[in-house]
Amino acid sequence: MREQMTSRERMMAAMTHQPMDRVPLDIWAVGEVWDKLRAHFGEGVDIGQALGIDGFSGSSLNYVGPKPADLGPDEFEDMWGLRFRKQHYNGGEYWEIYHNPLAAAQTIDDLEAYRWPRLDWWDFTDVREQAKQAHAAKPLMLGYMAPLTYHLYLRGQENCMTDPLLDAEFTRHFLNRLCEYNYELHRRHLEAVAPYVDLVQVTDDLGMQTGPILSVATWREFYKPWTEKFCKLGHEFGCKVFHHDDGAIREFLPDLIAIGVNVLNPIQWPCPGMDQAGLKRDFGDALCFHGAMDNQRTMPFGTVEEVRAEVRYNIDVLASDKTGFILAPCHNMQANTPVENILAMYDEARTYGVFS
């Protein structure tokens, strides 16, 4: 058996395609799942330690900008002017956007009249020391650079999908305004925490359950240039690039790899083109895969043995070369996920995913 690694060593080995003692583990879950796990393990128990989670650490900045509007206990506004409302569903709640502050903009003058965030709204004090401490235990990941996602947030879904087709000049001006700010903010953050940062998150949801949400050609023309610039920024500081992308996004993978994506999450394998074997065969040399445990069917509705079987299959395929895979749920485990399935998932991974 290989000498036991620390969580940091194990995660870094997976992302750099080096030998591992076992498959590293991560967890994404909604608050209601954490409540159930706390009830199961009892007060004072470190849930991550109990489950064997390796995971990432993070680095965040202190917001010191203008105070957003006070909308009451069930609504809030963020620094962009996005407004969120608490939506209840069976077993839990989500914060959903109900106001897109640039939805009514029609001209470049309208865009310029918007109160764009400023860099001096962020306090970098003490961030370096916090990053140093976090980096010692686990790989440190920072940032969220997502051109298409923030286009959708600020303009609304219909405008986001039609802007590039109806007004290319308007769309480019909007994306430049948005992304120039995000680029400079992340550069300053990286400068503040170097050399204690390991990953940056350059992300976007380019897929639906059945295929791409927009054409590859449109993405290449409007969003790829900034996505590439964000990836290069991360690599400039010696970071890996973590890319979260739901749905059926296989068509984008060659481009994403070419511009510098290193870690792909969440591997939503029931979607067309996202089967584990095909991804590992075609892209396993370039990508570390993160996720792959189905949180729409297997985790909430499967039996304990079905959960264990999926763990084994994912390890057999996505870690067939004993590296390049971090097992985790395929996005957030939802409130209807049974605790016994969560326990089975991590127990099977810790025992089956050991390499000699």
Confidence band, pLDDT 50/70/90 cuts, at residue 283: very high
- Which domains are delineated in the chain? 7-66+103-352 (3.20.20.210)
The predicted structure's pLDDT at residue 89:
84
Least confident of 18-32, 78-92, 121-135: 78-92
CB under 8 Å to 111, separation ≥6 — which residues? 102, 105, 170, 173, 174, 177
pLDDT mean over 250-256:
98
Position 1 scores a pLDDT of 52
**Cis check: omega of the bond before 266, within 30 degrees of 0:** yes
Q: Encode pLDDT of 264-282 as tens digits.
A: 999 999 999 999 999 999 9
Q: What is the mean pLDDT of residues 70-94?
A: 92
In the numeric block, the tokens 């409540």 are attached to 35
Q: What is the pLDDT of residues 127-186, one digit of tens each?
A: 999 999 999 999 999 999 999 999 999 999 999 999 999 999 999 999 999 999 999 999
| Residue 71 scores a pLDDT above 70 | yes
Q: Specify the pTM.
A: 0.96
| Sequence-ordered list of residues with C-beta below 8 angstroms from that of 311, at least 6 positions apart, any chain | 293, 327, 344, 345, 348, 349, 352, 353
The band of 322, judged by pLDDT with boundaries at 50, 70 and 90, is very high
Exposure string for 251-289, b = 16+ CB within 10 A, e = fewer = ebbeebbebbbbbbbbbbbebeebebeebbeebbebbbb
Residues 6 or more apart whose CB falls under 8 angstroms from that of 7 comprise: 24, 53, 54, 55, 137, 138
Residue 356: its pLDDT value, please?
81
What mean pLDDT is reported for the chain?
A: 96
Q: Which residue has the tokens 């189905």?
A: 294
* Tens digit of each residue's pLDDT (9 = 90 or more) over 90-104: 778 999 999 999 999
Whether 222 and 172 have beta carbons less than 8 Å apart is answered as yes
CB 298 within 8 A of CB 310: yes
Mean pLDDT of 219-231: 98
Residues 34-54, mean pLDDT to the nearest whole number: 96
Q: What is the DSSP string of 86-131?
A: EEEETTEEEEEEEE-TTTT--SHHHHHHS----GGGEE-TTHHHHH
User: What is the pLDDT averaged over residues 50-73?
Assistant: 95
pLDDT band for 333, please (50, 70, 90 cuts): very high
Mean pLDDT of 213-226: 98
Read off the pLDDT band of 261 (50, 70, 90).
Answer: very high
pLDDT at 295: 95
Question: Nearest-CA neighbor of 28 among 352, 276, 303, 267?
Answer: 267
| Token pair 């600020």: residue | 154
